[in-house]
Structure 1
Amino acid sequence: MAAAASAVPPSLDGIALAAPDAAAVRQPSSPQAWGGPRSGQEPTLSDRVVDYQIEARLDPEAHTIEGKQRLSWRNRSAVPVRSVYLHLYLNAFEGEGSTFMSEQRRLGFAFRSDVPIKKGDWGYIELKKVQQAGVAVPWYFVQPDGGPATDRTVVRLDLPQAVAPGGSTTLDIDFFDQLPRVLARTGYFGSFHLVGQWFPKMAVLELPGERGATAPRWNAHEFHLHSEFYADFGRYEVRIDVPEGYTVGATGELQGEPKKQGGRVIHHYVQGDVHDFAWTADKRFAPPLKAVYEGEGSPKVQVQVLYPPEYAHNAPVVLKATLDALAWFSKTLGPYPYRTVTAVVPPFNAKEAGGMEYPTFFTADSYADQTPGTLAHFGQEFVTIHEFGHGYFYGILASNEFEEPFLDEGLNEFWDQRMIQARGQRAPMTTAALKRLGVGTTVDVFEGERLGAGLKDPPDGLGQNSWHRHSSGSYGTVYSRTATAMRDLEAQIGREKLELAFKTYYQRWKFRHPSTADLREVLAEVSGQPALVQRLFEQHIYASRSVDDRVESFKSVEELPLLGRHISPDGRRSELDKDAQEDLVEKLRKQWKKDHPASSSKAEAKKDPQTGEVLAEPGPFPYRTTVVLRRRGAAVPQTLRVRFADGSVEMVRWDDQQSWARFSWVKPVKAVSAELDPERLHYLDQNQLDNSRALKSDGRAARRIASDAGSLLQTLLALVATL
């Protein structure tokens, strides 16, 4: 049994825990971290550290699970291990004393739709027995991040027998789950059960040279409101016992036909080279919608969609998006390595179960309407692509979602939107009702990400951990701001270099838990622009700088004869006063018109092919054009483009750390416009309306504001209509 929190003794081996404020790693991992790169010639896809054999019996009326687990763990370190740590994630939902619920209540953090919790809705996991080689193992609840003493999401086991370096041990564990009413990623509603974070799960022992570690350390954070997961790769063999009439879907491959006995059915699943296992069971599921994916380098993949009858119209959308995502991620990162994909459409009143990822298994969303070209239809497509995409960034790369969530959520969001663009899609901002009225618009997906990225004064760097954040909104920008930052990097280094860098990152670090520094090093190496990559990481990943460059002033004026004393070529002195200047200017203008009698008609006949502006010819006096640029944030490499009335263009680079810059030209004709970032490389710039100026009135800015306002209004109307 567990001891009281105040009586927790020190660990038996003195191995430290990861720091409570651990976040984005700066030191690259060793080339041999996690066993070194996987060549594909090894007997297994991953260097397996754990093996789980689990028996789970579901009571769908009480919403409970009786569990038995044989957990084998290998000590990769060079020191004996006496104390190990397990995650008991389900205890986040046992009451308001958990770290998860405390953050939601005390800090005012929101989570999804904040489903109210009523009596009987709570859930928990209880350890019934833990033995090592038949000997009882004492355990202690600990709070590695300094959370409340009432948090029981991490437990330390003090082993009777040390695990030698390179050796393994097996723990026999009996446990009991009370599933919560679906409120965050797991639970039940009616007969529907989404079973995630449900078994005692070994924490990760990191070694020197892995994710910045300099000595062996346990990475065992509490279950925070916004944190997700991090675990070793291994093999799962799970037997799921449910009443007859229940359809089951799960991580991995079903081993033969389910076995019936005594009015119940046992489903046997096995999956290697994954780091988690989840499943679903419901007696209301319709017959699954199935397909097969066959792609170069992948095994034959059995794809199925489980769905309730009321959302049958969602299933084809989910199936097609899953197949499309399989092809896209296999082509752009690497072939999908598993033999199954199961997607689940949650039933009515269980949307909190939607949008969640597990290895080879994910939940999509559920929408009453699936009219093509509407926000709901696009939303179902995108959620499906996003959750499948996690199978690569969260699943195969398996970065630490506790400490570096942007490596999963943010990079996945970026790659998903690249897929949407590659399909030639834009995001619709209308409902079915508005579409029938002929009202609707679309936005570029990265423009949409930019609008939701919180670019003005971001309080947290993208590389901050998932719990030490200013607000839920700040955590939410991990998705959009990362996608925007990576989009800007692609705009600067080019599509081919960006794609090669991500493919290299995936090939080098698949099944190996890369860190922020490992991503940074690959991007710097492949792009050939390490300074550019380093600047982006320092400004936006390791810190929280905003970008706000603008054209502060723009003028183009004639250079008239100068007042004052002058010396002529023959050495004679003269003085030009104001009256004399006016007379001289008038004289020279008349003379120029006399010498160029057809200049006006010629100018009217010639137009700039890009702008449509009428081109002008030089006049009697040149023009001095001056542009002042101003910076109110992080320095980024900028380009200024100035267009002139004769169709000529001047381009200048602004790439220093100064807060302002002034550029000036003397040309025969007047300037017509000055534009900063004309190639739109910097979506991170919080206000792009002040990036350009024109000497003549131009309605483009006003139209842009009206368009943004209209899109926002339609988005709000669409969201209201889908509630």
Structure 2
Amino acid sequence: MASSKRSGGLLPALLFLLAWPLGALAQQAAVSAPAPAAASTTAPAPAASVPDAPIPLAAPDAAAVSVPSAPGAWGGERSGSEPTLSDRVVSYRIEAELDAAKHAVHGTEQLQWRNRSDREVRSIYMHLYLNAFANQGSTFFTERGVLTAHGRGRGNASLEKGQWGWIDLNSVRQADTDLKYTFVQPDHGPATDRSVVRIDLAQPVPAGGTLTLDIDFLSQLPRVVERTGWFGDFNLVAQWFPKIGVLELPGERGATEVRWNCHEFHFNSEFYADFGLYDVKLTVPSDYTVGAVGELQGQPQSDGGKTTWHFVQGDVHDFAWVAAKGYKTLDGTYEGPGSPKVAVRVIYPPEYVASAQLVLKASIDSLGYFSRTLGAYPYRTLTAVVPPYNAGEAGGMEYPTFFTADGFSDVEPGTISQYMIDFVTIHEFGHGYFYGLLASNEFEEPMLDEGLNEYWDQRMLRERKQGIDLSTPFMNWLGVTPSMDGFTQERLTAGLRQPADPIGENAWDRLSSSSYGTVYSRTATAMHDLEERLGKDVMEKGFAEYYKRWRFRHPSVADLRATLIDVSGKPDVVNQVFDQVAYGTAWVDDAVTAIDTEEVTPQAGTFLKDGQRSELDTAALDKQLDKQRADWKKAHPKARPGEGPFPWRSTVTVRRYGAGAPQTLRLTYADGGHEDLRWNDDRRWVRFVVTKPSKVVSAELDPAQTVYLDANKLNDSYASKPDGSAARRWAADAAALLQNLYSLLGTL
């Protein structure tokens, strides 16, 4: 998801908590059961060793994993010869109908889930994400007040009467038995949060067995707050159905025992789920345009003013869709090595046709770049949605084969609006790899999705030679065209100095929304610097190998680190970056603090030579030196200041205010020559002493500008004399701008 702004209030949430009836905390209800289970794609696990022990939940502070997963985690690396792309753990057969007037969806869901563990399962956990928007007592709204009080982010809309959203479980059945459920808070959130539910089974699921549940539910969409909802006749239907949590096994993402991973819907967090098969029928008013995850099966069927659309997609872990009245479609295709022919569709409001054209092109370009650099896109469809004006919070969101983009009614080529459309499209498509195909846990390790995706997006933009044009048509007319490359922009927004949280921290244990936002930019910056140290080709091979090993599985930060070490053969380099940034809050700030120079001349005093002591007094020495300098200057009339008959000893002092990073120190001499020295150790300060025919006149750390993690680049250089050229340049530009402005005023 592309980052934006957030704000909210803590006081209303706290008042709501105090007022909530205590009896509601114990609410339980009955719920329903389906057809025969799908065949398991792996052999049943051995019998449980501790059958009566309850299966624990992942810790509420779970974050970046430090121990690599076992080789056989999630069924082992996919070879491509298996009957399905993923080891399908779950399947959903859903029939749903949209009540367009109420923005509500009534659905029936047949869930089939395979128990991969070595023990029987007596209770399952499910996400009811839409309950995050039910009231101010949810974890989402409670956290929003605190986090946005200390930073910026998205999701700051206020809901009014008739605009809240929720999921009601009308029934859950296992075979012929109604099941009871209890709302739980795995992360110790407020007792009023209803985003996770525990369902107690009538019959346990044996090791290797399959559970079938029939669920009847009602999803009320909220007015768009964040990620999902309605505005006018636009309905983005996401996080809308009861969805089972993930049962992790020992050796998977740091697990040491069988555990459920099913976190509350936090303000900053996103999602994590098993791969499976989705077979979904959607009934909507016939004058609505529909798009969804997956492939449309046949032609939509219409009857009595309603139309049913049937979508199927295997080997994905979520399903979202859009239904909007009066929307248009724009179609294209992508064909590339290793991929099926991909049907690309953009769904958009008529006033955003210019944006739709750019979204289509950027989507097809992204299919090519990601397929070429990471691995071939494996699905047959890709759908992008441009939300309407006033529903921007529905934009910049991703689902498998389906994402929402950004839109402007008027797009000038080469302007910031075009850049934003391109960037958001590339970013949301890229999630199809880092969130979709790699399926990392966005709750606990958001850097693996948001951060790595941001880095790969900027690589694509760099290859396109597409930076951020900061100018406007008026500025262009004046001849002022400021611009910035993507990685520079990431660096400037990365919060590099004294970061509050590691980028490997989970999504909710954050000082602020701004701190969470740096997951995007600080990860991209760290990966940029790691690329500079390993080499661009090595980094690309490392990421391609990471994708090959972990596609259709669920890697951890430790698995990424292990892969990059294996490919690069440089554990010290990789570990330093991960330890400092992913697992820690180290920050880099190296500076040049002084240049001291002196001529190396004969010295006054007494000296022993061949057993005889002689004395050279200061007055005689000064006369001798003056004569030598005068003779040398006469012989070298074009000599520069800092050159002469005697060598110069220059001492350059550098300081390290933060963590270590390999640095190059470039010395520039008075005669115009350069010399590069390496500083790659743990010393907090170093004095580099050089004796040369001319003195050092300036020193600069990182002359190639590759260490983007350095929090303050302004102290990287030092000159023995001030240089006013930059100030004169800016003054001249300002004068030219004023002159043009006065000329314009004079014509009015």
Compute the TM-score of the two structures, normalised by the length of structure 1: 0.92
Letter aligned with residue 186 of structure 1:
T
- Asked if residue 219 in structure 1 is aligned to residue 238 in structure 2, the reply is no
Instruction: Report the counterpart of residue 54 of structure 2 in structure 1.
Output: 14
Structure 1: how far apart are the matches of 2:646 and 2:598? 10
- Asked if residue 184 in structure 1 is aligned to residue 226 in structure 2, the reply is yes
Letter aligned with residue 679 of structure 2:
W
Structure 1: how far apart are the matches of 2:551 and 2:230? 33
1:434 deviates by 4.1
2:148 paired residue among 101, 108, 133: 108
Change (3 A) 1:142 1:354: same
Instruction: Report the counterpart of residue 13 of structure 2 in structure 1.
Output: none
Deviations 1:643-662 (A, max 9, x none): 22334433222112221111
Are the equivalent residues in 2 in contact too, given 1:689–1:701 (CA < 8 A)?
no
Instruction: Report the counterpart of residue 368 of structure 2 in structure 1.
Output: 327
Find the residue that maps to 1:418 and give its secondary structure: helix
Are the equivalent residues in 1 in contact too, given 2:168–2:217 (CA < 8 A)?
yes
Structure 2: how far apart are the matches of 1:175 and 1:108? 33
Structure 1: how far apart are the matches of 2:331 and 2:588? 47
- Asked if residue 387 in structure 1 is aligned to residue 424 in structure 2, the reply is no
1:181 deviates by 0.4
Unmatched tracts of structure 1, length 5 or more: 604-613, 711-723
Letter aligned with residue 38 of structure 1:
R
Deviations 1:67-94 (A, max 9, x none): 1000000001111111110000000000
Are the equivalent residues in 2 in contact too, given 1:13–1:81 (CA < 8 A)?
no
Correspondence list, 1:597-608, <5 A:
597=635, 599-601=636-638, 603=639
Deviations 1:278-331 (A, max 9, x none): 000011202x10011111100000000000011111110000000000000000
Instruction: Report the counterpart of residue 44 of structure 2 in structure 1.
Output: none
Deviations 1:666-704 (A, max 9, x none): 111112221111222210101111111222332466589
Structure 2: how far apart are the matches of 1:46 and 1:86? 21
Deviations 1:190-237 (A, max 9, x none): 110000000000100110000000100111110000000000000000
Instruction: Report the counterpart of residue 557 of structure 1 in structure 2.
Output: 598
Structure 2: how far apart are the matches of 1:3 and 1:256? 49
- Asked if residue 407 in structure 1 is aligned to residue 448 in structure 2, the reply is yes
Structure 1: how far apart are the matches of 2:576 and 2:727? 33
Structure 2: how far apart are the matches of 1:704 and 1:629? 29
- Asked if residue 51 in structure 1 is aligned to residue 91 in structure 2, the reply is yes
Structure 1: how far apart are the matches of 2:477 and 2:248? 56
1:580 deviates by 3.1
Find the residue that maps to 2:274 and give its secondary structure: coil
Are the equivalent residues in 2 in contact too, given 1:49–1:73 (CA < 8 A)?
yes
Are the equivalent residues in 1 in contact too, given 2:284–2:307 (CA < 8 A)?
yes
Deviations 1:110-147 (A, max 9, x none): 54162222111110001110011121111110000000
Are the equivalent residues in 2 in contact too, given 1:12–1:83 (CA < 8 A)?
no
- Asked if residue 201 in structure 1 is aligned to residue 243 in structure 2, the reply is yes
Instruction: Report the counterpart of residue 698 of structure 2 in structure 1.
Output: 673
Structure 2: how far apart are the matches of 1:703 and 1:511? 57
Correspondence list, 1:175-574, <5 A:
175-286=217-328, 288-568=329-609, 570-574=610-614
Find the residue that maps to 1:622 and give its secondary structure: strand
- Asked if residue 87 in structure 1 is aligned to residue 112 in structure 2, the reply is no
Change (3 A) 1:239 1:222: same
1:438 deviates by 4.3
- Asked if residue 638 in structure 1 is aligned to residue 663 in structure 2, the reply is yes
Letter aligned with residue 25 of structure 2:
A
Compute the TM-score of the two structures, normalised by the length of structure 2: 0.89
Deviations 1:227-274 (A, max 9, x none): 000000000000000011111000000000011122211000000000
Find the residue that maps to 1:128 and give its secondary structure: strand
1:705 deviates by 9.4
Change (3 A) 1:205 1:433: farther
1:32 deviates by 0.7
Instruction: Report the counterpart of residue 144 of structure 1 in structure 2.
Output: 186
Q: Aligned-residue CA RMSD in angstroms?
A: 2.2
Find the residue that maps to 2:377 and give its secondary structure: coil
- Asked if residue 25 in structure 1 is aligned to residue 76 in structure 2, the reply is no
Instruction: Report the counterpart of residue 25 of structure 2 in structure 1.
Output: 5
Deviations 1:491-541 (A, max 9, x none): 111111000000000011001110000000111111121101100011001
1:415 deviates by 0.4
Change (3 A) 1:6 1:689: same
Change (3 A) 1:673 1:101: same
Are the equivalent residues in 1 in contact too, given 2:153–2:517 (CA < 8 A)?
no
Structure 1: how far apart are the matches of 2:487 and 2:732? 16
1:357 deviates by 0.3
Change (3 A) 1:182 1:593: closer
Letter aligned with residue 398 of structure 1:
A
Structure 2: how far apart are the matches of 1:517 and 1:465? 14
Letter aligned with residue 553 of structure 1:
A
1:641 deviates by 1.6
Letter aligned with residue 667 of structure 2:
V
Find the residue that maps to 1:41 and give its secondary structure: coil
Letter aligned with residue 676 of structure 1:
L
Are the equivalent residues in 2 in contact too, given 1:192–1:284 (CA < 8 A)?
no
1:437 deviates by 5.0
Letter aligned with residue 175 of structure 1:
F
2:678 paired residue among 650, 653, 661: 653
Structure 2: how far apart are the matches of 1:123 and 1:75? 32
Structure 1: how far apart are the matches of 2:511 and 2:479? 41
Structure 2: how far apart are the matches of 1:624 and 1:31? 58
Instruction: Report the counterpart of residue 611 of structure 1 in structure 2.
Output: none
1:439 deviates by 3.9
Deviations 1:564-623 (A, max 9, x none): 32123x4321233432332231132234346xx2x224x5xxxxxxxxxx7x89622110
Structure 2: how far apart are the matches of 1:549 and 1:203? 46
1:35 paired residue among 62, 69, 75: 75
Are the equivalent residues in 1 in contact too, given 2:187–2:263 (CA < 8 A)?
yes
Segments of 4+ moved more than 6 angstroms: 703-710
Structure 1: how far apart are the matches of 2:125 and 2:134? 20
- Asked if residue 581 in structure 1 is aligned to residue 601 in structure 2, the reply is no
Structure 2: how far apart are the matches of 1:617 and 1:429? 42
Letter aligned with residue 674 of structure 2:
V
Structure 2: how far apart are the matches of 1:198 and 1:706? 57
Unmatched tracts of structure 2, length 5 or more: 1-21, 29-50, 736-748
Structure 2: how far apart are the matches of 1:168 and 1:411? 35
- Asked if residue 129 in structure 1 is aligned to residue 171 in structure 2, the reply is yes
Q: Aligned pairs, how many?
A: 690
Are the equivalent residues in 1 in contact too, given 2:26–2:182 (CA < 8 A)?
no
Are the equivalent residues in 2 in contact too, given 1:555–1:626 (CA < 8 A)?
yes
Change (3 A) 1:106 1:675: closer
Structure 2: how far apart are the matches of 1:553 and 1:369? 52
Change (3 A) 1:688 1:158: same
Letter aligned with residue 503 of structure 1:
A
Are the equivalent residues in 2 in contact too, given 1:4–1:140 (CA < 8 A)?
no
Letter aligned with residue 105 of structure 1:
G
Structure 1: how far apart are the matches of 2:630 and 2:474? 65
1:707 deviates by 13
